[in-house]
């Protein structure tokens, strides 16, 4: 327990130090990051903006959008905010209007996901199953499809989906959610193949257990946390900045020869289907 806390604190310190020395490889690019008012999405928005992108921050609740935008602006970053529940067509339309205003979209990061029920896959209610697939899979597909008219005009078109380690090794308590995250691996491959000749890359990142509100059922109680830590060879939980740098790589010129891939950042947890 003490050792995993120590490792987690080391990771947080190292991320802070490295973020002081960031490059500006995303200067002039426009990015949308969904579900970016806290957790992993916030860290991605912050990282892309720190590397020079103009970032549209979004989530369902206006007060969360305002808070996140204010925090990022205080840092001098170039961000704007839009309320967007990813399942709502009208909200997505407003999101893309915002990127159009900023000069047209180069980068889409589809990060929103829900898990309304805890339990095994065959215990999921039909309502929960529909909601999980609506937000986690269908909205990712629709966002990518609706982003294309702008992304096709960009010289640096990039799409990134956020999956999960659960895509590879389904978690007993997150059954239907795990399956939805496996679907994103397929969406990544299929969309990457379709867009490759247009020089638009499509990739995916699969985080392990990252300390956020979303993962609190796995990390809050001491006993569950210990169980989870036993499955992480690196011996610590992830932090949102373990993921944001990978996304920055994928959407930058450094990632221009990577497409159709899912990068797993899970502290060594088992990651094959």
Q: Which residues bind ligand NAP (CB under 6 A)?
A: 34-35, 37-41, 59-61, 64, 84-87, 111-114, 135, 162, 164, 207, 209-210, 212-215
Nearer to ligand NAP, 113 or 191 (CB): 113
Helical spans, DSSP H, in 133-271: 139-151, 175-195, 216-219, 222-230, 240-251
* Least distance from ligand NAP to the Cβ atom of residue 109, Å: 10
Which residues lie below 8 Å from residue 184, measured CB to CB, with a gap of 6+? 136, 137, 140, 161, 162, 163, 167, 204
* Least distance from ligand NAP to the Cβ atom of residue 140, Å: 9
Two tokens at 242?
A: 């373990």
* Least distance from ligand NAP to the Cβ atom of residue 2, Å: 22
Bridge partner residues of 263 (DSSP): 205
* Least distance from ligand NAP to the Cβ atom of residue 257, Å: 25
As to burial, measured by CB atoms within 10 angstroms (0-12 exposed, 13-18 middle, 19+ buried), residue 85 is: middle
Q: Output Rg (C-alpha) for the chain, integer angstroms.
A: 18
Active-site annotation holds for 257? no
- Residue 21: which of 47, 39, 43 has the closest Cα? 47
* Least distance from ligand NAP to the Cβ atom of residue 124, Å: 16
Distance from C-alpha of 26 to C-alpha of 13, rounded to nearest angstrom: 24
Nearer to ligand NAP, 57 or 154 (CB): 57
- Residue 162: which of 197, 131, 187, 145 has the closest Cα? 187
Nearer to ligand NAP, 108 or 154 (CB): 108
Nearer to ligand NAP, 41 or 255 (CB): 41
Nearer to ligand NAP, 30 or 113 (CB): 113
Two tokens at 104?
A: 């047209």
Please give the DSSP secondary-structure letter assigned to residue 110.
Answer: E
- What is the number of the residue whose Cβ is closest to ligand NAP? 39
Which residues in the chain belong to E strands, given as ranges? 30-33, 54-59, 79-83, 107-110, 158-162, 201-207, 262-265
Query: To which residue do tokens 């702008």 refer?
Result: 150
Catalytic residue, from 129, 161, 168, 177: name it.
Answer: 177
Residues recognised as catalytic = 177
């Amino acid at each position: 327990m003490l050792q995993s806390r120590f490792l987690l604190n080391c990771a947080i310190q190292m991320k802070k130090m490295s973020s002081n020395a960031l490059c500006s490889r995303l200067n002039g690019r426009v990015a949308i990051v969904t579900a970016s008012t806290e957790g992993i999405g916030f860290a991605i928005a912050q990282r892309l903006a720190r590397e020079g992108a103009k970032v549209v921050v979004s989530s369902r609740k206006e007060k969360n959008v305002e808070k996140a935008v204010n925090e990022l602006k205080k840092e001098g970053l170039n961000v704007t905010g839009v309320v967007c529940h990813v399942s709502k067509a009208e909200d997505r339309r407003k999101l893309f209007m915002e990127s159009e205003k900023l000069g047209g979209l180069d980068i889409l990061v589809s990060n929103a996901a829900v898990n309304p029920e805890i339990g095994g896959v065959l215990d999921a209610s039909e309502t929960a199953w529909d909601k999980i697939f609506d937000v986690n899979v269908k909205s990712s597909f629709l966002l990518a499809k609706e982003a294309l008219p702008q992304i096709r005009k960009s010289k640096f078109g990039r799409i990134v989906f956020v999956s999960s380690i659960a895509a590879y090794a389904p978690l007993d308590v997150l059954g239907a959610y795990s399956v939805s995250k496996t679907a994103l691996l397929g969406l990544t491959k299929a969309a990457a193949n379709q867009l490759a000749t247009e020089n638009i890359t499509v990739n995916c990142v699969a985080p392990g257990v990252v300390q956020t509100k979303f993962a609190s059922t796995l990390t809050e109680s001491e006993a569950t946390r210990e169980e989870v830590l036993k499955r992480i060879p690196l011996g610590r939980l992830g932090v949102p900045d373990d993921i944001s740098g990978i996304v920055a790589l994928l959407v930058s010129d450094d990632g221009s020869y990577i497409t159709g891939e899912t990068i797993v950042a899970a502290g060594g947890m088992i990651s094959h289907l």
